Structures are given as structure tokens and as C-alpha cells.
Chain A
């Protein structure tokens, strides 16, 4: 190892994973967004899509290697993304990290909570407290840890947009994976509560309920996976819904009708079904 100490002013080579947001000007306005749970699947596709839309992005995920690859890709394609390694169940780290991100992005206009885990118990007659606990911890309490302080900021700023990636799984308690059902039902209700609080302050809250997507998570699903779509297609739907400032969307949209049928299936039938 060389003993040479680099001169204080010598410019460091730019880190490809830490894109520097371009100055926002009236003719080159740049919105700033955080994507939590961005390393792969839907989160990564959302990041790519928003980068194309001109957002300066902060991308958060547990897995540094995947995150770095994604950020480098976005920055190489003319976008601006910065990587932050973070585990959403480390709640106490959120306030400081949020402040740091907002400072480094130069403001905040959008937050997407896309972090989530799906840990099935392994059969409709199995119970696994550890897995269920973990799902609540990440999918629900993780969302609250982030969206509480962000709601406080957006409410005060009277501007901003929150997108929560919930799931069709939250629409009904089913036999396969009770922990996932309740974590997503909780998230959907939490997002609705935020919407009811924040709409009057000019803040839009969008709840996204994806059905099956061709991601890592699909492997956890048991049984058939109808209407599975590419995450890029889902990301497209979500960005369009954001721009229209919609409230709740299903993706693919056919799930709206499927879930309507499922929600209205009477219990004396539903409790005899095995899905």
C-alpha cells in the first residue's frame, strides 16, 4: 500500500453509485424521490422508470451489491441515483437517514415504499410465528417508520406524493399465508388513513395493489399464478397513476374485478375454498 496521502483538494473520481443531483432550474426542473426497497423487482423497475422521467433518486435496499449495480446503470444512462444501504426494520435509524437523504437530494417530492417480504408458512396447515413477525416488521412497521416522518414533512410543506406498494393479498384473509394477508391489509388501511389525513394538505397518497409479478417473490407463491405481469409493466402503470394523482390502483387492472369477486364471496363458501 502506498504511503502517499492524497492532497486535500485533489478531486476524487466520481462514485458511479452516488449520482450528484443536477441543479434544478426553472427550465430544468428536477423532482426528487426516494424508493425504499429498490434493489430488484418492482422497486428497481420503478427507479428506472422515474429516472427516465427526470427524477433525482435516492434508492434504498438491504443488498448493497444489487443496489450499486442499479445505481451505476441509472447514472450511466444519464439519470441521477444515489445508493443507501438500509434495512427497514432498523427503525431507529430512519430519522437521521431521512434527513441526510433529503439534504443530499436537495428536497423531497415523492416517496415510494416498495419494501416487502413474503414468507409463507409452507402449507395451509402450518404456522410460523417467526415468518409472520418478520412480515409485519418489514411490510407494515417498516412503512410506518418511514411514512410517519415523511407525512409530517409533506403535511407541513403542503406538497408531495406518497406511493405504497401493498398487495391484492391484503384484500381478504386466506388460507395460504395469513401473515402476508394481515401485513398487507394493515398497510392498505394505513395508507388509506394517511390519504384521509393528507389530501386536505395537498398531498397525494397512492395505494398500489399488484397481483402476481414475474419477480423473485413469485417463487414463494404456491399454486397457480394467473395474470402474472412483468414488473416493468407494473412500474409503468404506477408512474401513470402517480401522474394522474390517483388513489388506489390494481396492476394488472383485471385484479380489481377479481378481488371484487373474492371480497364478495360469502364466508360460508370462502372458508371451504383452499386458496
Chain B
């Protein structure tokens, strides 16, 4: 029904006004939400927004930690109904999806045929459109790169109304800018990805502890080569000579024949995350029980206990879903952070400067009485996408609880973190940090990159229709 949105929406616009949140429930913004069912709807929404003088942001499941899919006072395109897996070729591993397809739908489609998405985030709830816009990475970033390197082709609707198809060869400048482009050049409609082969539903995980920051980083660095995935957990409460202690998980995909039961383990039923703890407690209620521990003392206890339990070095096998989607293990775990919600601060540092910079940051957080309750480390490599966050080094993701009392203190500390990271030649990731300013962005991306991005934006979006709260914050609108 061409003309549907344009005809009816101006009348019903006020009743589409809705308060949206980030994943951490720490930020709210109200927008007009327009349901997108098909590609033409996007074109009509652009026309409508232009007529009404509104800015537009596409939103998938809305689980970015920051304001990437918020657009206060503007129009938000709800892409979740564009969720068809259009074509799946189990011989070649190529899959063509609409952009609202989630990683959950994707792995459940391809896994029984012996394939797995080449790059996944810590939650399976993300949509592919969002994955491309942020150019997500996984625990295999050091070898597989970001998801963009596995995109064979995509189609996107530009605000001017054109539908463009990009591959690494065709419209290459747009290909490398729209992937990582925060959804500010166009709206993805169709995405073709190459899956990777697996020969078992299980993955072999080595777990060992590291007693300080230096060993933590060398552990990630030295053991990356003999694993497909590597991820570290860091105890941000440990001080002095124990600073930076934690546990590393390195995972290896099983080769053909290594899993005698591969027929069974590759079945979907085998991959499902258990929905009860100890077979009794429904996990959906667990976040209520976690809440009382969400303070410095409680989290010191949890982190210390966790470290003690990690002292045993061991190797075990677990399902792909269990290994990859840690964030989905406890549903609504982010709710346990309470009313103020949580934020994440993730920094990407070159391997030469990471240790000193993180030592400074971790010590500062302890001095200020604001230790991170959950820290995760990863190994990375650079990539060629325009707004890249990749470095030949490591990333450290710090989760902080936000309260009315700690806002000002936390904000001041994160500004110092920004200075430490920038001085050390580090970078930030636009799907995570919520406080990065336009100035910090200019420092790590460089004027030339920003100019190049803005030129492309002018070409794709001459009327400046696409804007998110994130875009206004980091590029100054």
C-alpha cells in the first residue's frame, strides 16, 4: 500500500510517541516510533520525516549500551519486523537476510547444517542491521576481524530514496563506510553473509587463571595463536601486585571427527541455554537475587570468589550458544543494577601501551571508590572500515552501576579515562561508551576520517535526515 504511511501517519503521529531506553536502562529518550514492514516503508518514512521536519534513526532490538538507536524528539524506525531469512545455501554457507534478522534467528537456522555465524556478539538478541552499523566484534576479533569482513554484499536505502547495493568491490567506499557508519548513511535492508563451517555443536574451552595485569595481557597475546576465541575476565577489586588478576578462556573449534556425537550435539535442542539454575530457580527471576550484591562490598565478594574458583586450570567442552552468548545466560541481568541502570566503558589500546594505561585506570577507579563490577578483556587487530575501533592490541570493557549519587564522580573519572586512553593512542567503540564527547571522537578518529565520513553523508543524505542521539553527541550534530 504505497502512500499508506504518508497519508495516515501525520494524524496518528502523536500516538506513536514512545519512551525508548538503552540496554542498560540508564538513558531514556522519547521518539515517534514507526513500524517498518518492508523496504518501501523506509522510503515513505524518509519522505514523511522530511515533510514533518524530523530526524530519523533505525532501531533493531535496541540493545546497544548507549544512545546508538535513540533519537529523542525524532523518528525511530522499528526494523524488527523485517526479519526474514530470505535465502540459505547450506552448501556454500551464504545466507541472505533482511536487516531485522537477529543473530539468534541466524545461528538457529545455520547451526543444524554445520555452520556458525563468523562473528557474534555477547548476546544473540542483536539484529544484523545493528551489527553492521556498529561493525561488531566477537571473541575471535584478533583472527576473524569484525563482522564487516564477512559481509559478501548488502543493500541499503539511502535517504534520497535510492536503493544501493555494495560489496567490497562495488561501491567500495560506501561498503567500508556504511559498515561501521552508525546507520547514518542509509538503512540496511538486505545483508548477505558468509558463515563458517563447524564440525560439532561443542567447542573446547581452556580456562586458566592469571595473577596480575602483565600476565593477563601476555596470556591473551601469547595464547591467541592457538585458539579460535579468547576472552579474559578481570577482577577490578584486586590491588597492588594482584592488580589485573583474572581468568582467561581460550576456545578452540573442534575439527572433523573430534566429536564422535556431532550428529547429536549439532541439533538445536542441544544448544539451548538452560532456563533454570540448579534445576530449580527460574533464571528469569535471578536478577532480583543479584540486586543485593550490586554494591562495592558485594561485588568485591563476588569477584574474589570468582577468582578463587578460577584457580583450577581445566579444559571442558560446552555448546556454541553457551560459550558465545554469556550475556543471555541470565535474562534481564542488567536489571540487577537497579534504578539508575548501568553503563559500559570500553577502551581499545595498542599492545605496547595497554598495560600502563589500564594500570592507571584500574588504580584510579579504586582510589575513587568506583571499581567496575564486571571487566572483560579481549585481543584485537586493526581493520579497514572507516569508523573502525580496531587496534593491534587489547580491549578492556568496564561495567559501572549508575546511581543518583555517583553520577558526577563517575563522569569526572570517565573524562580522565578518556584522556589516558587518548594519550596512549587508544580508540573507542560507538556501540558501547555513552559518554564519549565530540572532542574525544575527533582525537581518536582524526579530522581527515571525520571529513571523509561527513562528505559521504552529504552524498547519501543531502538533507541530513539520518541522525541519532549518538551521532549528535560524537559528531556534534
Contacts and interface: CB of A to CB of B under 8 A. Distances in A.
Given A106-B73, A107-B29, 7 more contacts: A23-B469, A25-B66, A25-B434, A26-B343, A26-B407, A29-B27, A106-B29
A25 B73 contact: no
B266 interface: no
A102 B27 CA distance: 17
A154 B17 CA distance: 7
Interface string A12-42: 0000000000011111110010000000000
Contacts of B410: 27
Nearest to B24: A26
Contacts, number: 95
Interface stretch (B48-56, B132-140, B299-307, B351-359): B48-56
Interface in A210-247: none
Interface of B: 13-19, 22, 24, 26-31, 52-55, 66-67, 72-74, 340-341, 343, 402, 407-408, 410-411, 414, 434-435, 469, 472-473
A32 B54 CA distance: 17
A99 B473 contact: no
Interface residues of A toward B: which range? 20 to 34
Question: Which of B22, B27, B66, B340 lies at the interface centre, i.e. has the most chain A CB atoms within 10 A of its CB?
Answer: B27
B72 A156 contact: no
A152 interface: yes
A174 to B, nearest CB: 38
Contact of B14 (A23, A27, A106, A156): A156
Given A27-B402, A156-B15, A107 B27 contact: no
B421 to A, nearest CB: 17
B30 A159 contact: yes
Contacts of A155: 15
Question: Which of B13, B19, B340, B411 lies at the interface centre, i.e. has the most chain A CB atoms within 10 A of its CB?
Answer: B19
Contacts of B407: 26-29
10 contacts: A24-B469, A25-B66, A27-B402, A27-B414, A28-B411, A106-B469, A106-B472, A109-B30, A153-B30, A156-B18
Nearest to B409: A27
A78 interface: no
A53 to B, nearest CB: 13
A24 B341 contact: no
B469 A152 contact: no
A108 interface: yes
A103 interface: yes
A262 interface: no
Contact of A103 (B18, B54, B66, B469): B54
A104 B54 CA distance: 9
Contact of A158 (B19, B414, B469): B19
Contact of A153 (B17, B29, B55): B17
B27 A100 contact: no
B53 A107 contact: no
Contacts of A102: 30, 73
Contact of A25 (B19, B31, B54, B435): B435
Nearest to B411: A27
Question: Which of A149, A154, A157, A159 lies at the interface centre, i.e. has the most chain B CB atoms within 10 A of its CB?
Answer: A157
Contact of B27 (A25, A109, A159): A25
Contacts of B340: 26
Given A103-B53, A103-B55, A108-B73, A23 B473 contact: yes
Question: Which of B17, B53, B55 lies at the interface centre, i.e. has the most chain A CB atoms within 10 A of its CB?
Answer: B17
Question: Which of B15, B16, B28, B67 lies at the interface centre, i.e. has the most chain A CB atoms within 10 A of its CB?
Answer: B28
Given A102-B73, A156-B15, A157-B18, A107 B30 contact: yes
Contact of A149 (B14, B31, B52): B14
B406 to A, nearest CB: 9
A155 to B, nearest CB: 8
A239 B68 CA distance: 32
A26 B469 contact: no
Question: Which of B27, B67, B73, B473 lies at the interface centre, i.e. has the most chain A CB atoms within 10 A of its CB?
Answer: B73
A109 B22 CA distance: 17
B22 A26 contact: yes
B343 A27 contact: yes
Contacts of B54: 99, 103
A74 interface: no
Nearest to B14: A152
A105 interface: yes
A24 B18 CA distance: 17
B435 A27 contact: yes
B258 to A, nearest CB: 45
A5 B67 CA distance: 37
B233 to A, nearest CB: 24
A107 B31 contact: yes
Contacts of B31: 107
A153 B31 CA distance: 10
Interface in A65-123: 99-100, 102-109
A87 B29 CA distance: 28
B450 to A, nearest CB: 14
B27 A153 contact: no
A217 to B, nearest CB: 32
Of all A-B residue pairs in the complex, the 5 with the closest CB atoms, nearest first, are: A107-B72, A26-B26, A106-B72, A153-B17, A27-B411
Nearest to B71: A106
Contacts of A32: 72-73
Contacts of B26: 26
Contacts of A158: 18-19
B72 A25 contact: no
Contact of A24 (B27, B74, B411): B27
A263 to B, nearest CB: 36
Contact of B434 (A26, A107, A154): A26
B402 A26 contact: yes
A26 B67 CA distance: 9
Contacts of A153: 14-15, 17, 30
Contact of B52 (A24, A99, A104, A156): A99
Nearest to B75: A103
Contacts of A103: 53-55, 73-74
B190 to A, nearest CB: 30
A166 B60 CA distance: 43
